[in-house]
């Protein structure tokens, strides 16, 4: 008998809580807002990507302190999807990325992934393999630059 009473009370609260109350907001969330157009396809530079970085100055040798900061930031923001090897996790592995891509492209991509994924044919092909878009991690310029330095260290720059 106690079980029946508990189920009846639970069912009543479930019924009441799932009623069709009107929302306090007048906003319609059913249709997404149109995306801002950041650049035309013709203006996409595959060596630089899209974003504010047109030149990135790298030292001839590795900045070890910056690479250490980059490792710490990557452990928080990146390593749940990327491995430092060439092995794919969720996203592609980082091994050799600084040899395949320019520093400007890397900086623009890690700070501005959405417009680049929309424009870069190689990123679109990678998206078909990985099946998940890289999220914008909201990295500061300093964090992005330190991750780039960590990537350089990962690729053997001394």
Q: Which of 76, 84, 57 is nearest to 140 (CA)?
A: 76
Burial 110-126 (b: 16+ CB within 10 A, else e): bbbbebbbbbbeebeee
Q: Are 54 and 104 in contact (CB under 8 A)?
A: yes
Counting as low any pLDDT under 50, the low residues of the chain are 10, 13-39
* Domains of the chain: residue spans and CATH: 77-158 (1.10.760.10)
CB-based contacts of 5, cutoff 8 Å, min separation 6: none
Helix (H, G, I), strand (E, B) or coil at 85: coil
Write down the pTM of the prediction: 0.73
pLDDT at 94: 97
Task: Read off the tokens for 72.
Answer: 């710490």
pLDDT at 31: 34
Q: Are 111 and 144 in contact (CB under 8 A)?
A: yes
pLDDT at 16: 42
Residue carrying the six token digits 């001839």: 60
pLDDT at 78: 97
3-state secondary structure labels for all residues of 94-156: CCCHHHHCCHHHHHHHHHCHHHHHHHCHHHHHHHHHHCCCCCCCCCCHHHHHHHHHHHHHHCC
pLDDT at 4: 60
As a whole number of Å, the CA-based R_g of the chain is 23
pLDDT at 43: 77
pLDDT at 38: 40
**Distance between CA atoms of 124 and 128, rounded to whole angstroms?**
6
pLDDT at 5: 55
């Amino acid at each position: 008998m106690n079980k029946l009473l508990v189920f009846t009370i639970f069912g009543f609260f479930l019924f009441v809580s799932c009623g069709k109350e009107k929302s306090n907001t007048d906003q319609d969330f059913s249709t997404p807002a149109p995306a801002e157009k950041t650049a035309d396809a013709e203006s996409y530079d595959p060596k630089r990507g899209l974003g504010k970085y047109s030149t990135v100055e790298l030292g001839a040798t590795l900045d070890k302190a910056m690479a250490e900061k980059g490792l710490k930031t990557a452990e928080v923001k990146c390593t749940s999807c990327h491995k430092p090897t060439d092995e794919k996790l969720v996203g592609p592995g980082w091994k050799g990325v600084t040899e395949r891509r320019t520093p400007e492209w890397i900086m623009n991509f890690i700070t501005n992934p959405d417009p680049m994924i929309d424009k870069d044919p190689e990123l679109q092909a990678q998206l078909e393999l990985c099946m998940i878009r890289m999220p914008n991690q909201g990295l500061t310029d300093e964090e992005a630059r330190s991750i780039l330095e960590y990537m350089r260290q990962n690729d053997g720059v001394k």
